[in-house]
Amino acid sequence: MARMKFLCDADRCIECNACVTACKNANEVPWGINRRRVITINDGKPGERSISMACMHCTDPPCKAVCPVDCFYQTDDGVVLHSKDLCIGCGYCFYACPFGAPQYPRTSNFGSRGKMDKCTYCSGGPEADLSTAEFIKYGANRLAQGKLPLCAEMCSTKALLAGDGEIIVQIYKERVVKRGYGSGAWGWKTAYNETIAT
């Protein structure tokens, strides 16, 4: 069994936002929801880096721990998914998530949130694999089709890597050795309590 993870090589990301677009298109994400986003730090200054960020599918996910209705579950592949039927839109997972992954459509009075939506690692939700109900609620289930998330597959510079953690770390390490530098695996310490020596 693989342990699915994302790794963004900040020294390669050119902030083209193709991953964001690919995600929105593959999953038909509702307006106003961004399952993936690209953030540029030190913008316009030396040391500028862009990082594509979405749900990191943490080991011991904080969202799962704080959910008052226990609507999260983690698959055998390590992918963190949730049930929109159980979600009450309280917002706790957003407070706990270190990566700002959970999003809520605004549905009613005050700031009342609708059912939470987040990156599913292109692997749907609790509904039957590849069913219409699953697509409407959670988007594509590419994992069930034997494919990886579209954001990483589409990445033009192969900055965003998706797949089994050990394999993508190996790819990243080879790159770092070859080019002689690397800014590390962004968010890995926070998400997996793991640092990639570079």
Partner 1 sequence: MLSRFPFILVAACALSLLLFTAPSLLAQPRSPTPPVGGPVSADQLLQQLPQIRGRVAIPVPRASVLIQPRGRSWRVFHEATLPWIGGIAIIGMLVVLAVFYLWRGRLRVRSGFSGVAILRFAAFERFVHWLTAVSFVILALTGLNITFGKWVLLPLMGNQAFSALTIWGKYAHNFFAWPFMLGVILIFIIWIKDNLPNKVDANWLRKGGGLLGGGDPPAERFNAGQKIIFWAAVLGGVVLSLSGLTLLFPFSVAAIDGMQTADLVHAVLAQLMIAVFLAHIYIGTLGMEGAFDAMGTGEVDLNWAKQHHDLWLEEEQAKAKSPDLGSRAAPAG
Judged by CB under 8 A, the residue of 78, 89, 139, 165 near partner 1 is 89
Residue 80 forms beta bridges with which residues?
74
Among the listed ranges 74-82, 84-92, 141-149, 155-163, the one in contact with partner 1 (CB under 8 A) is: 84-92
For the CB of residue 142, give the shortest distance to partner 1 in the complex, in Å.
Answer: 23
The mark string for 118-157 relative to partner 1 (x by CB under 8 A, - otherwise) is: ----------------------------------------
- Residue 45 has, within 13 A of its CA and on its CB side, a CA count of 5
* 90 vs 144 by CB, closer to partner 1: 90
Degrees, nearest 5: CA angle 94-145-24: 40
As a 3-state breakdown, the chain gives helix, strand, coil percent values, each rounded to 5, of 30, 15, 55
Q: Does 113 help bind partner 1 (rule: CB under 8 A)?
A: yes
By the rule CB under 8 A, 21 interacts with partner 1: no
Contact call for residues 54 and 97 (beta carbons, < 8 A): no
Name residues whose C-beta falls within 8 Å of residue 31's C-beta, 6 or more positions apart in sequence: none
Residues in the chain: 198
- Tell me: does residue 10 bind partner 1 (CB under 8 A): yes
- In 3D, which of 55, 95, 105, 51 has the Cα closest to residue 75? 55
Cα 106 to Cα 28: distance, rounded to the nearest angstrom: 17
Site pattern 27..66 for partner 1 (x: CB under 8 A)? -------x--xxxxxxx-xxxxx-x-x--------x--xx
Contact footprint for partner 1 (CB under 8 A): 10-11, 17, 20, 34, 37-43, 45-49, 51, 53, 62, 65-71, 83, 85-92, 94-100, 109-113, 178-184, 186-187, 189-190, 195, 198
